[in-house]
Structures are given as C-alpha cells and as structure tokens.
C-alpha cells in the first residue's frame, strides 16, 4: 500500500518525519517505496525547522497562518488552528499536486496530536478538503492521545482532544488511535522518550506498507495483503499492533524428523508473536468490540506453514470474535517471525467515550466560570464608579 503522509502540528510533524525515515529504510533494505510523499504542516517555524527527514523546501515543510501567528504557533487554541487550516489549506493541496508519484497513491494518512492547537484543529479541516478534492482515495487519520500528566493538569488538553476526536470521526474514513502513555519509558530523557514513542507508533506500519509493493517473486506471499485488503478493513476507530518471536529452528533437507516437543514449539512461536502484537496495540481496547480485523505474518519462507497460519487465525478469532478477518503472509526477514495486527470499526471505545464525557464537563465548568467572572466584573465596576481616576 502506498500512502501520502501529512503531519499537522508539532506532534504530527514529528511522526510524519518518522514515516519519512521508515520509507528511507524500506528503499535501502528492500528497494520499496511505500510512501509517495511526506509533508509537514505547521503554524510554528521552529517546529518545522526541527525535522530531520522530511525535505526542507517550502513544498514539504508548509507554514500556514503566518499573518495571524507570525510563525509562533496558536498557543494550544485549536479553534484558531482550524480557522487557519481553512484559510491556508490550499497550500497543502497545491503541494500534493506536485507529488511526482501522486497517481500511485492509494490513500492519505493525516497525523496530529489531539491535545495541541495547530494539529488538533487542522487535522479534520484538511481531511475534509482532501476528501472534497480526491474523492476516489480514502483519507485516514492517525491521532495521538495525550499523556496522563497532560490530562490531569491541563484542562484545555481534554477539551482539544474531545473536539479533535469528534471532528475527525465525522471527516475521516478511519482513525488510528495512538495512546502516548502506552509507550512511555521511565528514567529516560524527554527527548529520547518522545523519539522512542514516535518510532514505536510508526514501526507497525513497516511490513504492512511493503508487503503489497514487492516486485521480487522471491518475497511475494502466497496470500498477498495489499491495498485493497487494508482499505476494506479500515473503518472508524482503529488500532494497530506489532509482535515478534524468534524464528523456529530451520531443518536441513535430510532432517525429516521433528519430535513432538519441537513441533509444539514451532506452533507456539506464531501465537507468541500474536499475543505480543495484541498486548502492544496502540490503544488498549476490547478486541471483541472490533467488527473488522487483519493480520500480516512476516517470516522467512521456510518458517511458514499451514499449521502456523491456522494457529494465528484461530488465535485472533478467539480474541476478536465479532470481526471479519483478513490475512496475509510476507516471506521476508531473518531470524524472527513478526505479526502485524489491525483491529478496526471498534464500537464504543471506552477511552474515546471518556474523553467525550470529560469534554462536556469542561464546557459546563467553563460556562459557569465565565458567568461568575462577568458577575464579578460588574460588581467591581459598580464599586469603583465614584472613585476618581488619575488617567
């Protein structure tokens, strides 16, 4: 599958930068381009300057809202971010039109952090604009949820997250949810922690993007998981996970005997990788809430067999009992067996519903505070009405 990736705001831009790095690795290691272009969109010049892998010209690092923000961001007010995206969205559309491989693009992936200002406000607006101009291509969102400390100490983060999620759900064909807190590592510097989180958020897409773009017959699976399968799977709230296990012992041609212990271990490797993928989903959820799912098995050709495929399918079906499941195999890699899982069309995500509830509470509290301040302001005016001013 070939994606055109657009990162909005600081968080979205950094994750888009990680996708650009991932595509560079795919090109070097596998001779594959799974991404046709990567753009970063922001109201802050400094954030755009800090990217490493996205091309540095103005067609790839796009500054919007310069007249309103002077290149210094929107101060976490996502309504301003949305207004600026409506006014300057044509800059993004124009940059997309200049993409050399645009005709090969299967879908758009627009990325943002839910709690910020520019990305949180712009993502749904840009998604709508893309859908209006490119109706034949699905537009997916990847939305990063705030850290726990942000939820506890920054009420505005909750409001931004709630409004961002609602708007994205109404605009996008599917939304990948990524919970920042899932990937936090203690006793590591903030810079290294964020870099690691961005890497872990993007890593599960690697094999998925490569599998359907292989041209070498040696690496084409017996059941190819391509863009059509992914598009048919993705809808509504979605999560992605990745798991890995050591590859089973490779038997020599004259070694026909495999005792029952080795046979059992061989079968369990796949289940181990599947369990890890489900345990490392980008957002903790109940797999039974998924109406659609897929998995991709990536392993050396000699390590894959029907028992392994059946075991993986049964394992996923036992966890996501309501889902229509699509599968694929990708004979790549050495020394490990990897499983990529997507659960999609999640019904009633508890985490999302919790954000909506907290957002409604925040709005009610804000209205009460505003009313109280207006009353207090009127009282002050009356109190100093008869006091002479020195101005």
What is the per-residue pLDDT for 369? 65
Q: What is the pLDDT of residue 381?
A: 62
Cα–Cα distance for residue pair 25/12, rounded to 1 Å:
20
3-class DSSP state for residue 388?
A: coil
Its pTM stands at: 0.90
C-alpha 87/C-alpha 299 separation (Å) is: 47
Predicted pLDDT at 371: 59
Query: How far, CA to CA in Å, does 148 sit from each of 18, 115, 277?
Result: 23, 11, 23
Q: Per-residue confidence of the chain (391 residues) as pLDDT tens digits?
A: 999 999 999 999 999 999 999 999 999 999 999 999 999 999 999 999 999 999 999 999 999 999 999 999 999 999 999 999 999 999 999 999 999 999 999 999 999 999 999 999 999 999 999 999 999 999 999 999 998 888 888 888 999 999 999 999 999 999 999 998 887 765 566 667 788 889 999 999 999 999 999 989 999 998 999 999 999 999 999 999 999 999 855 555 555 555 555 556 666 888 899 999 999 999 999 999 999 999 999 999 888 888 899 999 999 999 999 999 999 999 998 889 999 999 999 987 888 999 998 899 888 887 776 655 454 556 556 655 666 656 5
Contact partners, residue 206, CB within 8 Å, separation at least 6: 22, 25, 26
DSSP 44: B
Pair 328, 222: CB distance under 8 Å: no
According to the model, what pLDDT value does residue 365 have?
80
Among residues 170, 149, 146, 155, which one has the least CA distance to residue 361?
Answer: 155
What is the C-alpha separation between 120 and 122, in angstroms, rounded?
Answer: 6
Structural domains of the chain in order of their starting residue, each with its CATH number: 3-202 (3.40.50.1440), 232-346 (3.30.1330.20)
pLDDT of res. 380: 55
């Amino acid at each position: 599958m070939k994606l055109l990736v657009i990162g909005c705001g600081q968080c979205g831009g950094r994750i888009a930068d990680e996708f650009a790095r991932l595509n560079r690795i795919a090109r070097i290691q596998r001779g594959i381009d799974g991404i046709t272009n990567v753009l970063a969109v922001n109201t802050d010049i400094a954030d755009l300057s800090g990217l490493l892998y996205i091309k540095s010209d103005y067609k790839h690092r796009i500054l919007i809202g310069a007249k309103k923000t002077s290149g210094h961001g929107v101060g976490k007010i996502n309504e301003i971010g949305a207004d600026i995206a409506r006014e300057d969205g044509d800059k993004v559309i124009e940059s997309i039109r200049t993409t050399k491989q645009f005709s090969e693009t299967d879908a758009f992936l627009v990325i943002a952090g839910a709690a910020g200002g520019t990305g949180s406000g712009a993502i749904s607006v840009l998604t709508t604009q893309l859908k209006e101009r490119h109706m034949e291509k699905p537009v997916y969102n990847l939305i990063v949820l705030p850290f726990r400390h942000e939820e506890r100490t920054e009420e505005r983060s909750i409001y931004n997250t709630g409004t961002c999620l609602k708007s994205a759900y109404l605009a996008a064909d599917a939304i990948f949810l990524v919970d920042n807190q899932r990937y936090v590592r203690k006793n590591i510097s903030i810079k290294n922690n964020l870099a690691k989180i961005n890497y872990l958020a993007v890593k599960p897409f690697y094999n998925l993007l490569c599998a359907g773009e292989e041209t070498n017959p040696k690496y084409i699976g017996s059941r190819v998981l391509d863009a059509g399968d992914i598009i048919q799977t993705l809808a509504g709230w979605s999560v992605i996970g990745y798991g890995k296990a050591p590859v089973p012992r490779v038997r020599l041609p004259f070694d026909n005997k495999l005792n029952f212990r080795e046979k059992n271990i061989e079968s369990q490797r796949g289940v181990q990788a599947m369990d890890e993928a489900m345990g490392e989903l980008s957002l903790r959820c109940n797999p039974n809430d998924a109406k659609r799912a897929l998995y991709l098995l990536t392993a050396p050709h000699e390590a894959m067999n029907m028992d392994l495929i059946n075991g993986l399918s049964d394992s996923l079906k036992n966890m996501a009992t309501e889902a229509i499941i699509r599968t694929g195999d990708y004979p790549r890699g050495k020394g490990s067996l990897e499983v990529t899982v997507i659960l999609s069309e999640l019904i009633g995500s508890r985490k999302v519903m919790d954000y909506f509830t907290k957002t409604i509470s925040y709005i009610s509290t804000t209205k009460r505070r505003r009313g109280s301040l207006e009353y207090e302001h009127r009282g002050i005016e009356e109190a100093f009405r008869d006091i002479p001013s020195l101005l």
